[in-house]
Amino acid sequence: MSAKLQTTQALAQELAQRIELRTARVAVVGLGYVGLPLAETFAWGGYPVIGFDIDAGKVARLQAGESYIGHIPSERIADLVNSGRFSATTNPACFEDADAIVICVPTPLTEAREPDLSYVEATGRTLVPHLRPGQLVVLESSTYPGTTDDRLRPILEESGLRAGRDFFLAYSPEREDPGNPVYSTRTIPKVVGGYNTISRDLAVALYEPIVEGVVPVSSNRVAEACKILENTYRAVNIALVNELKIVFDAMGIDIWEVIDAARTKPFGFQAFYPGPGLGGHCIPIDPFYLTWMARQYGISTRFIELAGEVNTSMPAYVVQRIADALNDEGKPIKGSRVCILGVAYKKDVDDPRESPAFPILEMLQKRGALVSYNDPHIPVLPLMRHHTIRLESEELTEEFLASQDCVVIVTNHSAYDYDWLARHARLVVDTRNALAGVRQPACRICKA
């Protein structure tokens, strides 16, 4: 056995022992909707955890026991900090003491709808001065196959250390579903790949104590492809029902009733539901990562690209339905008061990333509508990468609803009283079938 192999095995054995004893220190990079629940899960699993984020405001709030994520109450953060197993910092020197470093940073799209790995690469460069032998680095950010090995690894190896020999490198895709009352970070199985077998096995050992199931795969590329498949599957099927919504509407058929009937089949069918467009940090983005990667191999992914076109066209369809509904009332869209209900990308969360509410608001505004919005989870529209509209959430009162020519349900938050809304609004354009259970509404309802 060579001396280098002996050294690698010794480093791996030492780390494995620390993991088994829960003395391995875990650093989580990026304390957002993925990183913060993961840090919490590692801490309650018995590991000492340090959370790193470049946002000093986030770090200060966490250290004070406060949450900045709607579906994570501050009481949970206070308990986490008081446990003594978690602290947060903006100081990258914390990585020197870490045994495992888990990267949970954004992977958005550029203006040209190509992968933007700047956050991943910047994180790698931040780690380089602090990387030491025997550490495990795991990337969790959603990305295309090859990112961990071909983009992150060379940056980390600028430290002079070699992946799979001096330090260990793995990929495990995040599967966070914010606001889901059934599945949390702890109860969702983790897929784990590695740069080599020893890297994967160490990552598997790291995650096994904190989640209900770990699924080892043969490589980082397979684990990366797994995440892309999961979200492309959803995007394509949502595109299908979005297209069928338009077709069936032209036929005078309610797509929601059709889906409810179809889902009674006990095999061969899974229900997906239409909406005003895709939102969130994964489903609207990941398929484009795959199409971009396919082009590097000279392959055209026409099916996936068509699904993307259908989904990105839905905000325009909604705006046209609003215009048609107003026209039936004898009103032009220009000068009409239109209120959007819900700007978060999904029900009962405070995350507006990629929400279809933003293009809908901007299209309406461009056509001369006097727009407003209400969202109990988002009091002020944040500045977004591709959108500049800035508004504050309006209070929903009888007087306010009476002043609006049209109310548009974009996100069907549980906090809304839909019976009350149907009694006091004039016209509602419902993109989520939220008013399906309302009997004898006083307003006119138009589905979109």
Looking at the annotation, which residues are catalytic? Answer: 282
- Encoding tokens for residue 97? 């003491």
- Inter-residue contact 52 to 27 (CB < 8 Å): yes
Q: Tell the residue number behind the tokens 């990105």, with chain if given.
A: 312
SS (H, E, C) 410-446: CCCCCCCCHHHHHHHCCEEEECCCCCCCCCCCCCEEE
Q: Helices (DSSP H) in 251-285: which residue ranges?
A: 255-262
Q: Helices (DSSP H) in 176-219: which residue ranges?
A: 197-207
Q: Which value, to the nearest 10 degrees, does the dihedral of the CA atoms of residues 263, 351, 345, 403 take? A: 120
Left (φ > 0), alpha (ψ -120 to 50) or beta: where does 29 sit? beta
Question: Torsions phi, psi of 209, nearest 5?
Answer: -75, -15
Sign of the dihedral defined by the CA atoms of residues 399, 393, 372, 238, in that order: negative
Residues 6+ positions from 41 with CB-CB distance below 8 Å? 184, 185, 186, 210, 211
Q: Say how far apart CA 6 and CA 53 lie, in whole Å.
A: 36
One-letter amino acid of 176 = E
DSSP tag of 214: E
Q: Tell the residue number behind the tokens 């500049």, with chain if given.
A: 388
- Inter-residue contact 402 to 426 (CB < 8 Å): yes
Q: In what order do the strands lie in the sheet with 370-374?
A: 370-374, 337-341, 406-409, 427-430, 444-447
For 426, counting Cβ atoms within 10 Å of its Cβ (0-12 exposed, 13-18 middle, 19+ buried), the class is middle
